[in-house]
Structure 1
Amino acid sequence: MSDLLIELFSEEIPARMQARARDDLKSIMTNGLVEAGLTYASAGAFSTPRRLVLSIEGLSAESKPVREERKGPSASAPPAAIEGFLRSTGLTLDQLERRADKKGETLYAVVEKPGRAASVIIAEVLENTIRTFPWPKSMRWGSGNLRWVRPLHSILCLLSDDSGGEVVALNIDGIQSGNTTAGHRFLAPARFPVTGFDDYVVKLKRAHVVLDSAEREAEIWQGAQNLAFAAGMEVVEDKGLLAEVAGLVEWPVPLMGRIAETFLTLPPEVLQTSMKEHQKFFSVRNPKTGRIEGFITVANTETADHGETILKGNQKVLSARLSDAKFFWENDLRMAKAGMQEWLDGLKSVTFHNELGSQMDRIARIEGLVGHLADKVGADLVQALRAARLAKADLRSSMVGEFPELQGLMGMYYAQAAGETESVAQAIKEHYSPLGPTDDVPGAPVSIAVALSDKLDVLTGFWKIDQKPTGSKDPYALRRAALGVMRLILINSIRTSLVMHFRQGLAMHAAVDTVTPALDLLAFFHDRLKVFLKDQGIRHDVIDACLAMPGNDDLTLLVKRADALAAFLKTEDGPNLLQGFKRANTILSQAEVKDGVEYSYGADPKFAETDEERALFAALDQAEAQITPAMRREDFAGAMAAMASLRAPIDAFFTAVQVNSDNPIIRRNRLNLLHRIRAICSGVADLTKIDG
């Protein structure tokens, strides 16, 4: 067994592309090697800004010989058919085997391929990998045809075992593979040889390169925390920024600077966003004041002055950036205190979608939906309408123009400056939420009303113009909007009819037919709900059983029913009762088809012949007396607990009684008794849809 080390050394790889590139290099190379007949024990991929690395351990020395056998045409087939088969196999006619079968003789091609050395296979697979690597963007340079994310400088390809290392020879557009690499661009640029992966990692670190991105992240975070702690401050956690910065440096050196006092009046989110987006700085917060008062920058080198010059340069650029942000903020505050009417007027010229009108048209529709929803969620109508009117105003502000990700949040600040109530300001901030499956869900009634209305307008609008998600394509994020509606409703236990709100939204889009698209949109919601509940451990068949019941556009009711059914089926009685129900339903359904009648006219206990039969009558009476009021209270768990009491008498009934008696009166009575079982059990959920 051998170990393989590959390094593809280039100019700086964009940080956002590195994680995917690591995964692609590992999967493409290992799949290619395995398809060519090699085996391996383990593989790991790594990246820095200047290198993409793959380490494979326990690689077999050669591929095994392969014997392939292909069946061809009949020996008496037309010459053209035989010639085509010969071309596909690369053999001549005298190399084919003839085998007798029922139809005469059939031609067979038997091809034996000898095993090949690992080095030969590696060279082929690596060249193909490099030439076809799936970079999101790639480039050519010089006079060659090779494409790579940035100019590729060298290829290290080393196959090693206990006896030493062997360079796997390949030449790609003049780049000859070898066993050397280079260290840090400034601190250790000289090239040096390596003998294997462990040697490679150690020598890289001596040359001021930390290979593992996770290790770089840990060093950056620990260094940043140490600097902040020493100053009595704390670093604002940002895992996305941490991963990005780790992809920008090979030798991370965190440095801490202070933000000038003149900028500390800016909202903390503005400071964080500006520093993150423009300069990849971490924000440092003063826990005593709650303000963002400092920053952490991560240099890619060590300097004699311990980063002082780097910090001065960064602070100069930061001051210029924050001066712009301060100008935007102060200008926007003046507009907000004047009532934001100029912004609202400006929304008339901001197109939301060419078939759905402007942002001002959207506001009018959202206001209309809020009018229907406010009472359902317990929101003050006046406050909710005011929040809906101002929800999109900040889209015309300078700050949101510079940082679109702050929309909603800046609207809250501007509403507060304008003297709006806190519930209105909060609703403006939260009306885009939740943005994803883990985002916080608004809980204040006014916020819920506006957030729901915003998402319902988007969904009904795009449904009206038939711009629905297809396959993996969802350009208008309608799946996310649907998930947002579901989470708003479920987490806040809102009881309402989705179809009613869909029709209201479609009517505001001037839809001629509101019924058909509303039902289609409900089906879309049901599909999304299945995904949502599956992630929470509820089986698809349980959801289907509940979707088949009345009120399936009331999501809170629907999920309450599904939770109860899922819990019931996990009990000992659940699966057993399900089998009894299915047996009763099968016998009854077959009899109804055979006899052409429906056995639903009431079973009479006076025709019962056995104690088990009479016991089932009594059990059904008792269960029905408990299930009916429980269902009225929507106490599905209670109804299913009562239903569970039927398990034993149903089992005993089927053990002791033959339903299809020779006596037609007894048979009819027992079939009507089975109908009672079906009716009582089906009142909770459609159990016919449950698997097993």
Structure 2
Amino acid sequence: MGKNLLFEIGLEEMPAHIVVPSMNQLKEKTAVFLKENVLNYDEIAAYSTPRRLAIYVTNVDERQADQEEVVKGPAKKIALDAEGNWSKAAQGFVRGQGLTTDDIFFQEIKGVEYVHAKKHTDGKAAFEVLAGLKDVLTSLTFPVTMHWGKYDVEYIRPIHWIVALFGDEVIPFDFLDIQTGRTSRGHRFLGHDVTFTTADEYLEKLAEVYVIADSKRREEMIIDQIQQIATKNSWKIELDADLLEEVNNLLEYPTAFVGNYAEKYLSVPEEVLVTSMKEHQRYFDVRDANGQILPHFISVRNGDRNHIENVIKGNEKVLVARLEDAEFFYQEDKKLTIDSCIEKLKNVTFHKKIGSLYEKMQRVSAIAQIIGQKVGLTAEELKDLKRASAIYKFDLVTNMVGEFPELQGIMGEKYALLQGENTAVARAIKEHYMPVSSEGELPESNIGAVLAIADKLDSVLTFFSVGMVPSGSNDPYALRRQSYGIIRIISAKNWHFPLTLLQKEIEDEINQNSIYGIQLAVESKAVSEFIKARLKQFFATQAIRHDVVEAVIESEQQDLSQIFHAAQILKNHLKDPEFKVSIEALTRVINLAEKATEDNEKIDATLFENQAEHDLYAAAKAVEEHFSENTMADNYQALVQLRPLIEAYFADTMVMVDDESIRNNRLNQLKQISKMALVIASLDHLITK
């Protein structure tokens, strides 16, 4: 029977978003530590609050198991000299293992005999081994760190106490000037220091000093308390998952309460109210059964219900001050005109190397029309797109967006409607920011989708043109996320998107007019490879096999939507009975076709020497005639069906003959098939087993 282990790191308050990842990291690294040190256990539970990270491990072995291992030494011919005596190499080997030459035996590996010896290692007491938890503590990594006092060590926040208990014994080690012990701290205002007799008392004794260390339990308390409030008042309260997690990781003892604000503030757009409450105050908004927002909010206090009335008044006062500002900004913004806002954008820099936001809007207007025509927007849609792209950034100079930047686009839609713009134009202004995160919501309207693509593509092209290409993890202008957004939108809309061709058209347009503020000068391959690299991230969400991803990305295909189709087609056919032999036949064609050196790709049927050449030529020509008009799926099937003819061809035909004209003719014949295959995928990347 083992003992239970408690390890707690006590700190100053950590930022909310750091708490859970750090707790999980401590759990994972402790598990690795125990495994590496051959200490078995039943379970690891992880706990956290803003002031502590802890793990509780049950039934840890009290000793490491003794280890028996066979270690390999030098080859027999090196271990023995000419007289059959042990060489220095053999003697050095056993000495390094703490053994003698009497322990040596020989064992054959792939026909060669090697020295081997059995090594016995006594297991250490767990109590001794667990002092290594100090290394776990120092190995934790954080996105931001600080150092304190006279110490060079950096950590997320200063450490103030460490609890390390194995059963009822303190595991002794120190970190900086802190010695491990059995004493932790309670709630900063309601609690006091608490001492654990054994590791098992952790949760119970902390609860007595107003610390709920189990984050799942705290979350359950918050949800239950808010639900009780909602039920009592017949309210509807949506618990935003991100906000719930943030609130949970800001406190140690939750108490939910209701606050109120005047109904007059409901005249302000709902999004402003929610943003003021959620983003700035971390409050949950309150709605009636029909989903209409009500002049109340739910907050969660880090403490009990004592003096809760004062807490409510304080929170109401802070929120009302914000709502007063919001109402003022909203009324002032309604006096602005879209034209006056756009005029101001001429003096707002997008980037010092690229130009103003006004110039960006001019470029995006042109890019949007090129893309809109390519993806088949109607004349009406193109007209609305032209208007939307001419004004879509105007809200950036409004008072409201200046105060609440997260409302950009959202307020643009509101103000555009107030100024008489039609619904399609206003909606596109809102949607052009989408998706705002990697897996965020996509624009639904065609106009919004095209405007979103155009805005993001302009950013990629202009930053590349001034040499500001993301490197490593450095991507200050989120070009990777924006490229990923382009991919997701095109996939959702199933639009043809010939990237290289579009880039050429865009550059020709932008580079002929000074109103665009910049000359685009980017190798099409650089942008294509950058955007294609994001495809790997996209395909990872589609459960596409790694080799299939490599095959479609390395294809000669430039139309992004066709790459999506190719990946899905290959995924769907991986388990076909004929898949392996068909891909192997086409791969052989592709590999040989690479040897073609002549620019002249003409195939001369008079040079054929057997029927297999004629048969394959006729079948491939029939596929080629319909290749551009067929679907990707049809083309895949047509190429796969060439397999018997390809196999017959290779059975009867030597491609690399001495006669140069015949050799080149045969390579050209294979190249005809290879070019079509490579439009689907670089099939040689596929793993066939």
For normalisation by structure 1, the TM-score amounts to 0.80
2:154, 2:15 → 1: CA distance?
15
- Which whole-Å deviations, capped at 9, do the CAs of 1:211-243 have from their partners, x for residues lacking one? 221222232123223322332221233111111
2:617, 2:536 → 1: CA distance?
33
User: 3-state DSSP class of the match of 1:334?
Assistant: coil
Structure 1 residues 112-511: aligned runs within 5 Å: 116-126=124-134, 128-130=135-137, 134-135=141-142, 136-140=144-148, 149-150=156-157, 152-160=159-167, 165-172=168-175, 174-189=177-192, 191-197=194-200, 199-288=201-290, 290-304=292-306, 307-335=308-336, 339-377=337-375, 378=377, 380-506=381-507, 507-508=510-511
Deviates more, 1:280-289 or 1:354-363: 280-289
User: 3-state DSSP class of the match of 2:96?
Assistant: strand
Which AA in structure 2 matches 1:476? Answer: Y
User: 3-state DSSP class of the match of 1:316?
Assistant: helix
Q: Is the 8 A contact 1:180 1:194 kept in 2?
A: no
Deviates more, 1:494-503 or 1:643-652: 643-652
Q: Does 1:49 align with 2:47?
A: no
Aligned-pair CA distance for 1:431: 0.9
Structure 1's 349 and 670: CA in aligned 2 closer, same or farther, altered over 3 A?
A: closer
Q: Which residue of 2 aligns with 1:683?
A: 676
Structure 1's 3 and 358: CA in aligned 2 closer, same or farther, altered over 3 A?
A: same
- Which whole-Å deviations, capped at 9, do the CAs of 1:9-32 have from their partners, x for residues lacking one? 344333222123213433454545
User: 3-state DSSP class of the match of 2:583?
Assistant: helix
Aligned-pair CA distance for 1:414: 0.9
Q: Which residue of 2 aligns with 1:571?
A: 576
Structure 1's 308 and 63: CA in aligned 2 closer, same or farther, altered over 3 A?
A: same
Which AA in structure 2 matches 1:388? Answer: S
Aligned-pair CA distance for 1:470: 0.9
Q: Which residue of 2 aligns with 1:531?
A: 537
Over aligned residue pairs, what C-alpha RMSD do you find?
Answer: 4.1
Q: Which residue of 2 aligns with 1:77?
A: none
Which AA in structure 1 matches 2:449? Answer: I
1:111, 1:359 → 2: CA distance?
70
Q: Is the 8 A contact 2:40 2:61 kept in 1?
A: yes
User: 3-state DSSP class of the match of 2:495?
Assistant: coil
Which AA in structure 2 matches 1:222? Answer: D
Structure 1's 650 and 271: CA in aligned 2 closer, same or farther, altered over 3 A?
A: same
Q: Is the 8 A contact 1:659 1:670 kept in 2?
A: no
Q: Which residue of 2 aligns with 1:601?
A: 604
Structure 1's 450 and 650: CA in aligned 2 closer, same or farther, altered over 3 A?
A: closer
Which AA in structure 2 matches 1:343? Answer: C
Which AA in structure 1 matches 2:88? Answer: A
Q: Which consecutive unaligned segments of at least 5 residues does structure 1 have?
A: 73-97
Structure 1's 504 and 603: CA in aligned 2 closer, same or farther, altered over 3 A?
A: closer
Q: Which residue of 1 aligns with 2:83?
A: none
User: 3-state DSSP class of the match of 1:234?
Assistant: coil
- Which whole-Å deviations, capped at 9, do the CAs of 1:609-659 have from their partners, x for residues lacking one? xxxx6xx9779856864x4565233322223334444445666787xx554
Q: Which residue of 2 aligns with 1:635?
A: 631
Q: Is the 8 A contact 2:350 2:357 kept in 1?
A: yes
2:231, 2:11 → 1: CA distance?
37
Aligned-pair CA distance for 1:407: 0.7
Aligned-pair CA distance for 1:521: 0.7
Which AA in structure 1 matches 2:148? Answer: R
Q: Which residue of 2 aligns with 1:85?
A: none
Q: Is the 8 A contact 1:394 1:407 kept in 2?
A: yes
Q: Is the 8 A contact 2:12 2:160 kept in 1?
A: yes
2:574, 2:686 → 1: CA distance?
10
Aligned-pair CA distance for 1:363: 1.6
Deviates more, 1:361-370 or 1:172-181: 172-181
Structure 1's 669 and 153: CA in aligned 2 closer, same or farther, altered over 3 A?
A: closer
Structure 1 residues 617-628: aligned runs within 5 Å: 625=622, 627-628=623-624
Q: Which residue of 2 aligns with 1:581?
A: 586
Structure 1's 646 and 362: CA in aligned 2 closer, same or farther, altered over 3 A?
A: closer
Structure 1's 633 and 293: CA in aligned 2 closer, same or farther, altered over 3 A?
A: farther
Q: Is the 8 A contact 1:541 1:689 kept in 2?
A: yes
Which AA in structure 1 matches 2:9? Answer: L
Aligned-pair CA distance for 1:59: 3.3
Which AA in structure 2 matches 1:355? Answer: K
1:267, 1:237 → 2: CA distance?
20
- Which whole-Å deviations, capped at 9, do the CAs of 1:352-407 have from their partners, x for residues lacking one? 11101121221222222233233234153442232122211111111111111111
Q: Is the 8 A contact 1:159 1:166 kept in 2?
A: yes
**Residues matched between the structures, number:** 638
Q: Is the 8 A contact 1:430 1:442 kept in 2?
A: yes
Q: Which residue of 2 aligns with 1:80?
A: none
Structure 1's 687 and 318: CA in aligned 2 closer, same or farther, altered over 3 A?
A: closer
Q: Is the 8 A contact 1:228 1:256 kept in 2?
A: no
Q: Is the 8 A contact 1:131 1:147 kept in 2?
A: no
Q: Which residue of 2 aligns with 1:100?
A: 88
1:10, 1:584 → 2: CA distance?
64
For normalisation by structure 2, the TM-score amounts to 0.81
2:631, 2:265 → 1: CA distance?
57
Structure 1's 227 and 352: CA in aligned 2 closer, same or farther, altered over 3 A?
A: same
Q: Which residue of 2 aligns with 1:110?
A: 96
Q: Is the 8 A contact 2:548 2:571 kept in 1?
A: yes
Q: Is the 8 A contact 2:359 2:517 kept in 1?
A: no
Q: Is the 8 A contact 1:70 1:108 kept in 2?
A: no
Q: Which residue of 2 aligns with 1:9?
A: 10
Q: Which consecutive unaligned segments of at least 5 residues does structure 2 have?
A: 75-85, 99-120
Q: Which residue of 1 aligns with 2:114?
A: none
Q: Is the 8 A contact 2:589 2:674 kept in 1?
A: no
